[in-house]
Amino acid sequence: MLLELSVTPSGRLVCEQAVRPPGELAGELDPGIDIEADLGLGLCGAFADSSACGLLFLAGVRATTPLPLELHFFRRWALRFLKGVAQLDDAQFAALEACAARGKADPLPAQVVPRLAPPNPLELAALVAEAPPMRGLEYLTPATLTSLWQSLPAEFLRQAIVEAESQEASSKGQGGCRRLLARLNPDLHVLGRVTFHLAENKRDPQSPFAFLATYAQRLSSKSQVQHLPLGAALREYAAAKDQAKLAELLTPVRDAAAGSPVVEELLDSREIFQPQAWTVAQAHRFLTEVPAMEQAGLVVRVPDWWAARREVRPQVQVRIGEQRGDGVGLSTLLDFSADLSLDGTPLTEEERDRLLAATDGLAMLRGRWVEVDAQRLKEALRHWRTLEADHADGISFLEGMRLLAGMPSAAGGEVDEQTQEWTVVQTGAWLQDVLQQLRSPGEIDGCQPGTALNATLRPYQAEGVRWLWFMLRLGLGACLADDMGLGKTIQVIDLILQLQGAGRGAGRKPGRGGTGLDSGPCLLIVPASLVGNWKQELEKFAPQLRVLLAHRSEVDAATLANIARNPTRELAGYDVVVSTYTLIRREEWPRKIAWRLVVLDEAQAIRNAGSAQSKAVRQLRSAGRILLTGTPVENHLGDLWSLFDFCVPGLLGSLTQFRGFVKRVQKGSATGAVAALRRLVRPYILRRMKTDPHVVPDLPDKTELTVTCGLTKKQVVLYEKLTSDVARMLESSAGIQRKGLVLSLLMRLKQLCNHPDQFLDRTGFDPAESGKFQMLGQLCGTIREQQAKVLVFTQFQSMCDPLAAYLETLFHRPGLVLHGGVPVGRRRELVKRFQERDEVPFFVISLKAGGSGLNLTAASHVVHFDRWWNPAVENQATDRAYRIGQKRNVLVHKLVCRGTLEERIDQTIRDKQELADGILGEGGEKLLTEMSDAELMRFVSLDVPRAQDDD
C-alpha cells in the first residue's frame, strides 16, 4: 500500500493512499514505499481523526519499519514529543497521571508545561528547511510545526484517560500515561530516573572532567525531587530488600551498556556508582556515545559547548567566489580557497599544528574546549586542497552552487559524510552579493517593468519581471511558480518587451556577454488549450509585438509547411512564436532555430523525463529558458530532474546520477540530502502565493479566465452530424416547429460539448471522450496540488453525478453534490461540511439549485463547466464563493469549447455585454430563432481545425 502525507492550507496533516499516474518516469525516480495494508489503514484512520492522533500513532511505528520520507520526518517529530513525556521527572509524571486518573485532558499541569514546550524558533526553522518533498510543503512553516506540537499533550492525555479507565490497566496497577507510552512505543522507557552528568573540573589540569551518575528520588507526595548519587540506590534498595525495584531502576543502564562500551565498562567495574575524575580522552569517548545512552532511556547532561560542537569545532573553511568573476553564467569561473578556521576566523600556523597533532578528541583552543578529530581534519583539508590545486583557474558557477548546497559535484566528487562534518562551504563576498540580488533583485539596470506594457503591473508582478530579467542577465534559467491567477502570463509578456527594448538600446545588452538574448524570436510552448488565451493576452497587453500562432487552430497547413521547409526565413519577421508541446514533439524545425528565449507554460508537461515530449523540448537551442507552473515544483522529488535539466542543464547532474541520489534518500543513507537539494534549486525558483502578505493587498477580489477546450474525435463527428441533420430539417420547417428545432439544437450542442454520453443519453462518461473533462482534470490537478477547494457549476442536473464521480478520481477523495433533487433541509448540512472540513475538496452544484442563498467562501476556485449564456446568472453563482467572509482571491474558470457555438457566444458576451443580454437573456432566444437559416448555421457550425485536440 502506497501512502502519502500532505499538509493542508490550515496546517492539518492528511494521510491517504497515494495514486500515481501510470508510466511516468517521475514515479520511477520517486517510487514510494510499499507499506503493509493494516499499518497503512491504521495511519489513514488515525490522521482522519486528527493530526495529533495520527502523529501519536506514527510515533508508535517501529524505527525499522520503512516509511515514505514525509512520514519518517513526522515520525521523528512525534517521537521527540513522546521522549519529552518519558523524560518528565517523578513529580511531573505523577501530575500527568493524576490528570488522566481524573479524566481531564486539559489544561496541562503547570509543572509539566515548560518540559513539553515546542522546540525553539531556530530549531523549528531548521526542521522546516530539512523537510522532505510532500504535497502542501509550502504550508509547512515553524508556526505549523508549533501548532501541531501544541495539539499533542491534550491528545496524549485523552488517550491516557482511555487507558486509565480500562480494567486491564487497573489490575496491573499502572497509570494511563505509563500504559499508553508502553503501547505506543514499547522501546521507549519512562526516562528521568537515572541521569549521567559530565562537567568540567578546571581545578585538575590532568583530569579536567568529572562524571557522576544520579537517580531521582521523591521523599513524599509534596516534596521536591532530589537527585542522589546512584550509589545511594544500592544502600536504599538493599535496606528495603527490594531487588526488583533496583533492577527496574538499572534497566536503562543495562540497555545502554549493550550499545555503549563506556557504560558497559562503568557497570562491570561498578565505577558507575561512584564519582569519577576523567581525562580529556575519557570525556571525549563518553561524549561520542551519548546518543546510544539516550536511546536506551538515560538522561545525559553535558556541557553546553558540546551540544553546539558543530558550530564551535575547527573546520576546513571553503570559500567560493570571493573575487569578482568574469561575468556570470553557468560557465563563469569562481575563485576557490580552503583553510582551517574556528568561528570563521582562520587559525594561526601554531594553532593549526597543535590541532592536527591532537590525539584526545578535545582540545583547549582560544579559551574553550573544542572537539578535534585530527585524522578527519587532515583528510578534509587534503580533499579540498587537492581540489583547489586541480582548479587553479577556478570552478564553474554551476559546480560552485552544487558545493554550496552540499551536493556532489563533478569538481569535488562525492564528498563523504565524515569530510562534510568537518567542512563548512561559504560564499565569498562577490558571490554573496550576486545571490542576494537573486533573492531580491530590486532596481536592475536596463529593466523598467511596465514601461512598454499596455497595462499597469501590480508591485509583485514588477518584482517578478525584474527577477526574470536578472536571471537572464546572469545566463541562468528560471522557474516562475506563482499561484494560479497571479499573472505569470503578463509578467512574461512584459519580460519579452524588456528584451525587445534592450536589443534595440545601445549599451543595454543582457545575457551571456551581450549575445543570444539581443535578437531572434521568443518561443512560447503552451498546451493547445491555452493558445487562444496567449493570443488574447499578447494582443491586449503588447499589440506592438509581431506574433505567430504556430498551431493549426490559428494558421493554415500551407503556412506551417512553409515554416517547416525554411524556419529561419519564415520566422525572421516575428518577435514571438506561440506553439504547443505536441508540435514541438512532432516537428523538427523548432530545433533548427537559435531562439532568444524559450518559455514553457504549464511546465509540468515535461516532468516525465523519458517521454518524447520532454526529450524534444530539452533539445531546443536558446539563450534563455523559463519554466511557468502554478504548482510548487519542490513537492515531488521525481519531477525535479526533468524540469531543471531544461531550465538549468547540469544543475542536478545526469539522470543516472539523480536516480542514485534519490535511491540514497529513500534508503535514508543521505543525511541532509533533501535539504541540500532544496538549497540547490531554490535560487532558480520564484513562487508567490495568494496568501502571501505582500501579495494579498494587490489582488482583485476575483479573477475571471476563459479556458478553451478542444473536442475529441468522437465529439467532432457527432457535432458535424448534428448540425448537418438540423440544416436539412430546417429546409422543411417553419413557425413553431422551426423555433422548437432551433432551441433543441442549441441545447443538444451544449450537451455534446459537455460529453458525448450526455448527448447520447448514456451512462459511461469516459473522461477521454470529452475535451471538457480532460481540461477539468488539468485544472483540478493544479488545484489538488495547492490543497485548495473548488466549486463546479453545471446547468444540467444530469451532469452532477458524472462530474462528481470524475472529480473523486482526481482528488482521491469524495466531494459533495447539490442539485434540485437534494432536500432543502440537507443543504445547510452540505454547506457546513464544505466550509468546515479540509478533506472535502469539491462541490458540484447545478446552477438553478445553487445559484443563490449559499455561502461557500471555503472555495478559492470556481469552474463553470458549461455556460448558462446569461452573465447575470453566472455571476450570481460565482458570488457563492466571492462574498462577505471570503479572505482569498477567487479564480473563476469558464470552460468553452473552441471552434463551436460555445466560443462564438462567449465572444459575443465579451464583445458587447448589452447585446449578449439581449440575445441570451430571459426570452432573448427568439433573436436566434429569427436568424435566417444561413446565419444560424454559420453561428453554430464547427471550425474543425480550431476544435480538434492536438492529439
Q: Is the pLDDT of residue 791 over 50?
A: yes
Q: Is the pLDDT of residue 914 over 60?
A: no
Write the CA distances from 617 to 8, 603, 609, 646, integer angstroms.
Answer: 33, 10, 10, 8
Q: Taking residues 353-361, report their average pLDDT.
A: 82
Q: What is the pLDDT of residue 621?
A: 94
Q: What is the pLDDT of residue 24?
A: 42
**pLDDT band for position 4 (cuts 50, 70, 90):** confident
Q: Is the pLDDT of residue 138 over 70?
A: yes
Q: Is the pLDDT of residue 390 over 70?
A: yes
How far is it, in rounded angstroms, from Cα 469 to Cα 465?
6
**pLDDT band for position 731 (cuts 50, 70, 90):** confident
Q: Which of 305-319, 345-359, 487-501 has the lowest mean pLDDT?
A: 305-319
Q: Which of 407-416, 852-861, 895-904 has the highest mean pLDDT?
A: 895-904
Q: What is the pLDDT of residue 29?
A: 54
**pLDDT band for position 239 (cuts 50, 70, 90):** confident
How far is it, in rounded angstroms, from Cα 606 to Cα 134?
20
Burial of 62 (C-beta count, 10 Å sphere; 0-12/13-18/19+): exposed
By three-state DSSP, how is residue 900 classified?
A: coil
Q: What is the pLDDT of residues 358-368, one digit of tens each?
A: 877 888 888 77
| Sequence-separated (6 or more) residues with CB below 8 Å from residue 630 | 481, 482, 483, 484, 488, 602, 782, 786
Q: Which of 64-78, 168-182, 582-596 has the highest mean pLDDT?
A: 582-596
By three-state DSSP, how is residue 477 classified?
A: coil
How far is it, in rounded angstroms, from Cα 790 to Cα 834?
10
Q: Which residue has the higher pLDDT, 418 or 726?
A: 726
Q: What is the pLDDT of residue 443?
A: 64
**pLDDT band for position 923 (cuts 50, 70, 90):** very low
Q: What is the pLDDT of residue 756?
A: 97
Q: What is the pLDDT of residue 201?
A: 86
Q: What is the pLDDT of residues 537-561, one digit of tens each?
A: 999 999 999 999 998 878 888 999 9
Q: Which of 10-24, 45-59, 505-519, 614-628 has the lowest mean pLDDT?
A: 505-519
> Domain spanning 702-947: which superfamily?
P-loop containing nucleotide triphosphate hydrolases (3.40.50.300)
Q: Which of 62-66, 98-102, 686-690 has the highest mean pLDDT?
A: 686-690
Q: What is the pLDDT of residue 474?
A: 83
HSE of 166 in the Cβ direction (CA atoms, 13 Å)? 14
Q: Which of 661-665, 743-747, 840-844 has the lowest mean pLDDT?
A: 661-665
Q: Is the pLDDT of residue 922 over 50?
A: no
How far is it, in rounded angstroms, from Cα 580 to Cα 600?
9
Q: Which of 137-151, 669-683, 825-839, 853-867 has the lowest mean pLDDT?
A: 669-683
Count CB neighbours of 514 within 10 A.
13
Q: Which residue has the higher pLDDT, 473 or 794?
A: 794
Q: Is the pLDDT of residue 398 over 50?
A: yes
Q: Which residue has the higher pLDDT, 915 or 234?
A: 234
Give the burial string for 683-715 (b: 16+ CB within 10 Å, else e).
bbbbbbbbeeeebeeebeebbbebbbbbbbebb
Q: Is the pLDDT of residue 919 over 70?
A: no
Q: Is the pLDDT of residue 280 over 60?
A: yes
**pLDDT band for position 480 (cuts 50, 70, 90):** very high
Q: Which residue has the higher pLDDT, 409 or 686?
A: 686
DSSP letter at 411?
Answer: T
Q: What is the pLDDT of residue 363?
A: 82
Q: Is the pLDDT of residue 121 over 70?
A: yes
Q: Is the pLDDT of residue 865 over 80?
A: yes
Q: Which residue has the higher pLDDT, 870 or 184?
A: 184
Q: Which residue has the higher pLDDT, 448 or 883?
A: 448
Q: Taking residues 524-538, report their average pLDDT.
A: 90
Give the burial string for 416-454 (b: 16+ CB within 10 Å, else e).
eeebeebbebebbebbeebeebbeebeebeebbbbebbe
Q: CATH 3.40.50.300 occupies which residues in the chain?
A: 702-947
Q: What is the pLDDT of residue 553?
A: 78
**pLDDT band for position 402 (cuts 50, 70, 90):** confident
**pLDDT band for position 488 (cuts 50, 70, 90):** very high
How far is it, in rounded angstroms, from Cα 166 to Cα 169?
5
C-alpha radius of gyration, the chain, whole number: 34
Q: Is the pLDDT of residue 23 over 50?
A: no
Q: CATH 3.40.50.10810 occupies which residues in the chain?
A: 440-695
Q: Is the pLDDT of residue 607 over 90?
A: no
End-to-end CA distance of the chain: 34
**Average pLDDT across the chain, whole number:** 84
Q: Taking residues 721-730, report their average pLDDT.
A: 90
Q: Taking residues 801-824, report their average pLDDT.
A: 92
* Residue 222 grid cell: 509534596
The amino acid sitting at 891 is L
Q: What is the pLDDT of residue 668?
A: 66
Q: Which of 24-33, 57-66, 433-442, 647-656 has the lowest mean pLDDT?
A: 24-33
Q: What is the pLDDT of residues 148-198, one digit of tens each?
A: 999 999 999 999 988 887 755 455 556 788 888 888 887 665 555 788 999
DSSP letter at 545?
Answer: S
User: With contact defined as beta carbons under 8 Å apart, do 276 and 167 qualify?
Assistant: no
HSE of 305 in the Cβ direction (CA atoms, 13 Å)? 15
Count CB neighbours of 878 within 10 A.
20
| Sequence-separated (6 or more) residues with CB below 8 Å from residue 641 | 29, 609, 652, 655, 658
Give me the residue label for grid cell 567542512. 423
> How do beta strands 685-686 and 478-480 pair?
parallel
Q: Which of 310-319, 409-418, 633-642, 758-767 has the lowest mean pLDDT?
A: 409-418
Q: What is the pLDDT of residues 807-816, one digit of tens each?
A: 999 998 899 9
Q: Which of 331-335, 788-792, 865-869 has the highest mean pLDDT?
A: 788-792
User: With contact defined as beta carbons under 8 Å apart, do 444 and 469 qualify?
Assistant: yes
**pLDDT band for position 20 (cuts 50, 70, 90):** low
3-class SS string, 619-642: CCEEEEEEEECCCCHHHCHHHHHH
Q: What is the pLDDT of residue 951?
A: 52
Q: What is the pLDDT of residues 108-119, one digit of tens each?
A: 888 888 888 999
Q: Which of 147-156, 341-350, 354-363, 380-389 has the lowest mean pLDDT?
A: 354-363
Q: What is the pLDDT of residue 712?
A: 94
Q: Taking residues 481-509, report their average pLDDT.
A: 80
Percent of the chain whose predicted confidence (pLDDT) is above 90: 36
Task: Please state at what angle helix 673-681 crosses helix 397-405, rounded to 10 degrees.
Answer: 140
Q: What is the pLDDT of residue 925?
A: 57
Q: Which residue has the higher pLDDT, 632 or 19?
A: 632
| Sequence-separated (6 or more) residues with CB below 8 Å from residue 254 | 267
Q: Which of 220-224, 254-258, 638-642 has the lowest mean pLDDT?
A: 220-224
Q: What is the pLDDT of residue 589?
A: 95
CATH 3.30.390.30 at 440-695, yes or no:
no
Q: Which residue has the higher pLDDT, 669 or 876?
A: 876
* Residue 159 grid cell: 488517550
Q: What is the pLDDT of residues 414-445, one digit of tens each?
A: 667 777 788 888 888 888 888 887 777 666 66
Q: What is the pLDDT of residue 851?
A: 56
Of 431, 470, 604, 440, whose CA–CA distance to 478 is shortest? Answer: 470
| Sequence-separated (6 or more) residues with CB below 8 Å from residue 824 | none
Q: What is the pLDDT of residue 45?
A: 94
